[in-house]
Amino acid sequence: MIILKKYLIVSDLDGTLLNKKHDLSKRTIRYIKKLIKQGHIFVINTGRPYQGMLRFKNKLDIDCPYICDNGSSIYWDSNKDFPVFNKIDKNEVKSFLKELHPYIYSTLLSSHQKLYFINRNKIPRWMIHINEETQVIELDNLDNIDEDITLMSIYIHEEDRSKVAEILDKYSNIISNREWGVHLGLRSYELFSSKASKGNALIYLRDYLNIEEKCVIGFGDDLNDIDLLKKCYVSVAMVNSKSALFNYAKHTTKYSNRKNGVVRFLKKYLKENGK
């Protein structure tokens, strides 16, 4: 009898597992379900919040963990030990936003099924993920923040960048940040707990599941996937990745996300290394 190695396979969503329609292809869904039946563990590791991950979770309909908010939260519906969060204390968030307030153009704060907004109409629509259970709160008063926060998206005018950088530096032991560039004179930031990252969430699951280090495969395509790839033994950059990502990957897919690149890589890799 041939015994297959048990792999922990971790994949980003947008630009990696999702196709050009920003959805899971039927081929991808079938193959992931096949992997699960073979005894492997498949984990989505996304920057999307819980609400933005739900429709993909429902389409897959498999029992596995899901990492959201760029590693700030881990969900596993059938497991009593989850969810696991790396949140920013609400009082720290309030203090931070009070200092940042003069420079804020718009803000989105996430906390599981609560979304808090400053100037909601100025947040890009694609950033907002809402379902029937989501509670939406407009922050006319920062005291309305009544839960710890998993993720913040902040937009500022480019001219205020240096002032904002000073505030970010002041809170750097509590809040990590990632810049997403400038568009139409607005600079965007993603902020999260200094303890949170896609890679740290992966390590947590790897240790929890007692998976051998050499049996961890990770896929990504963007800058927020760098930490994920750094902590995977088999690190795979999509061929359509941002150029910086190739410096952290041992492998590159032959095909892009639009052509089921993750599935096609895994079929070949597991055939050659799975026994």
pTM of the model: 0.90
- pLDDT for the residue numbered 275: 61
Q: Is the pLDDT of residue 1 over 60?
A: no
Q: Mind listing the pLDDT tens digit for each residue in 149-187?
A: 999 999 999 999 999 999 999 999 999 998 988 888 999
Among the residues of the chain, which ranges form H helices? Answer: 26-37, 50-60, 90-100, 161-170, 198-209, 226-230, 261-273
Tens digit of pLDDT for each residue in 92-151? 999 999 999 999 999 999 998 899 999 999 988 878 888 788 899 999 889 899 999 999
Q: What pLDDT shows up at residue 107?
A: 96
Please enumerate in sequence order all residues whose Cβ is within 8 A of that of 35, keeping only pairs 6 or more positions apart, or say none.
9, 42, 266
Collapse the DSSP code of 5 into the 3-class scheme (helix H, G, I; strand E, B; otherwise coil) and give the result.
coil
DSSP string, 217-243: EEEE-SGGGHHHHHT-SEEEE-TTS-G
Using alpha carbons, select from 184, 167, 165 the residue that is nearest to residue 124. Answer: 184
Closest CA to 104 of 168, 60, 40, 23: 168
pLDDT band at residue 4 using 50, 70 and 90 as cut-offs: low
Q: Give me the chain's average pLDDT, please.
A: 94
Q: Is 155 left (phi over 0), alpha (psi -120 to 50) or beta?
A: beta
Q: At 198, which amino acid appears?
A: K
Place of tokens 């800058």: 223
Calculate mean pLDDT across residues 58-69. Answer: 95
Decide if pLDDT at 2 tops 80. no
